[in-house]
């Protein structure tokens, strides 16, 4: 059966069948047969090697999570090379369609919580946080330098027990600067090696071994102070970062 309708994000894609299950919709899709250039030798081929079904998370339709059951065709070239066809809706090795990846970035910033975003898109909280961090990184300007005094705090995501992100903030203005995906020494070291040149004071409320790690992470001697001893009470939250990024994204969307 072929559907004459076009579903969002699936332009030029054959919709073979739509199956409704209890809480989700399976959309069986394929690409039209089309001459492809061999990635190895450049010769054009129409010879089909085989098909493999890929399960790809897609946007919700009619309020239900949707999976694309993509019958991915592989072509064979006279040179012996076998390769998958090009599909406009998904990148190689991805479990989610391009539309969903885009939606994840937007939801990670605009949803009330990461959990809300994860539930709306049928993915995990950690996936949403990863997209969020990527978005924050992309928003950082080139030639960026850390201020003289930075504050480091940890943020525990609400569902993945034991998973922490580190928030880097300006200790004087309390303005959030960056989020690191974890609190491993190597992650902090790599980050600081890029940006530490101006930092003299690090403010944090964390255990002794973590403080020792921070000393190690810097190439030069620095002062590590407890927030309690620092001159002003510092308050910030991940939501401050979210608000900032949301504002930037809003501006970007308006500019487009
Ligand atoms: Zn070839």
Q: Which of 18-32, 59-73, 89-103, 139-153 has the lowest mean pLDDT?
A: 139-153
248 and 147 both lie in a single domain: yes
| pLDDT band of 5, cuts 50, 70, 90 | low
Cα 40 to ligand 1 centre (Å): 5
Cα 75 to ligand 1 centre (Å): 10
75 and 169 both lie in a single domain: no
- The pLDDT score that the predictor gives to residue 3 is 59
- The pLDDT score that the predictor gives to residue 141 is 63
Tell me if 199 is assigned to some domain: yes
Own/partner pairs for 177-181, CB < 8 Å, 24+ apart? 177/146, 177/147, 177/150, 178/136, 178/137, 178/140, 179/132, 179/133, 179/136, 179/155, 179/238, 179/241, 181/129, 181/130, 181/133
- Average pLDDT on 59-88 reads 92
pLDDT tens string 173-211: 777 788 777 777 778 888 887 787 788 888 887 777 778
Tell me if 23 is assigned to some domain: yes
Cα 47 to ligand 1 centre (Å): 11
220 and 160 both lie in a single domain: yes
d(CA 80, CA 198): 56
241 and 178 both lie in a single domain: yes
**Residue where one domain finishes, among candidates 95, 117, 149:** 95
pLDDT tens string 106-143: 887 777 788 888 888 888 888 888 888 777 777 666 66
Evaluate if residue 231 carries a pLDDT over 50.
no
> Where is mean pLDDT largest: 108-117, 139-148, 247-256?
108-117
Q: What is the CATH number of the domain that holds 196?
A: 3.30.420
Tell me if 115 is assigned to some domain: no
CA 201 to chain centre: 31
**Residue where one domain finishes, among candidates 79, 95, 111:** 95
165 and 68 both lie in a single domain: no
| pLDDT band of 242, cuts 50, 70, 90 | low
Cα 255 to ligand 1 centre (Å): 44
Cα 93 to ligand 1 centre (Å): 22
Write down the ipTM of this complex.
Answer: 0.98
Could you tell me which residues come within 8 angstroms of residue 88 by beta carbon, excluding any fewer than 6 positions away? Answer: 11, 12, 13, 98
**Residue where one domain finishes, among candidates 77, 95, 113:** 95
Q: Are 62 and 7 in contact (CB under 8 A)?
A: no
29 and 86 both lie in a single domain: yes
- The pLDDT score that the predictor gives to residue 234 is 41
148 and 249 both lie in a single domain: yes
| φ, ψ (nearest 5 deg) of residue 125 | -60, -40
Cα 76 to ligand 1 centre (Å): 8
Cα 91 to ligand 1 centre (Å): 21
150 and 245 both lie in a single domain: yes
Share of the chain above pLDDT 90, in %: 26
Cα 32 to ligand 1 centre (Å): 21
Which of 59 and 70 is assigned the larger pLDDT?
70
Number of domains present in the structure of the chain? 2
145 and 246 both lie in a single domain: yes
Which range of residues forms the domain containing residue 191?
141-255
Which spans in 32-142 are helix H? Answer: 98-110, 114-121, 125-139
CA distances from 97 to 31, 63, 102, 173 (A): 14, 17, 9, 40
Do the bridges between strand 164-170 and strand 149-156 make them parallel or antiparallel, or are there none, so unpaired? Answer: antiparallel
Q: Give the residue from 252, 245, 9 showing the smallest Cα distance to 108.
A: 245
Tell me if 71 is assigned to some domain: yes
Tell me if 201 is assigned to some domain: yes
| pLDDT band of 232, cuts 50, 70, 90 | very low
Task: Give the number of other CB atoms < 10 A from CB of residue 71.
Answer: 15
181 and 236 both lie in a single domain: yes
Tell me if 22 is assigned to some domain: yes
75 and 155 both lie in a single domain: no
């Amino acid at each position: 059966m072929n559907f004459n309708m076009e579903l969002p994000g699936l332009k030029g894609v054959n919709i073979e069948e739509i199956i409704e299950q209890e809480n989700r919709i399976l959309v069986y899709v394929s690409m039209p047969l089309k001459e492809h250039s061999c990635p190895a030798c450049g010769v054009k081929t129409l010879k089909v090697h085989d098909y493999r079904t890929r399960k790809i998370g897609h946007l919700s339709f009619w309020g239900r999570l949707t999976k694309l059951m993509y019958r991915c065709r592989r072509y064979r070239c006279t040179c012996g090379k076998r390769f998958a066809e090009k599909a406009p809706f998904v990148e190689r090795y991805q479990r989610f369609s391009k539309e969903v990846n885009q939606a994840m970035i937007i939801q990670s910033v605009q949803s009330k919580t990461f959990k809300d975003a994860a539930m709306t898109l049928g993915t995990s909280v950690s996936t949403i946080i990863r997209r969020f961090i990527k978005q924050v990184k992309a928003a950082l300007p080139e030639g960026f330098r850390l201020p003289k005094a930075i504050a480091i705090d940890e943020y525990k995501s609400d569902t993945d027990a034991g998973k922490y992100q580190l928030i880097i903030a300006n200790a004087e203005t309390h303005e959030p600067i960056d989020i690191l995906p974890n609190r491993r020494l190597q992650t902090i070291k790599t980050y600081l090696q890029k940006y530490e040149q101006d930092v003299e004071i690090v403010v944090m409320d964390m255990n002794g071994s973590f403080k020792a790690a921070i000393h190690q992470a810097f190439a030069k001697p620095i002062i590590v102070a407890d927030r309690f001893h620092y001159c002003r009470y510092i308050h910030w939250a991940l939501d401050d970062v979210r608000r900032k990024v949301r504002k930037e994204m809003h501006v970007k969307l308006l500019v487009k």
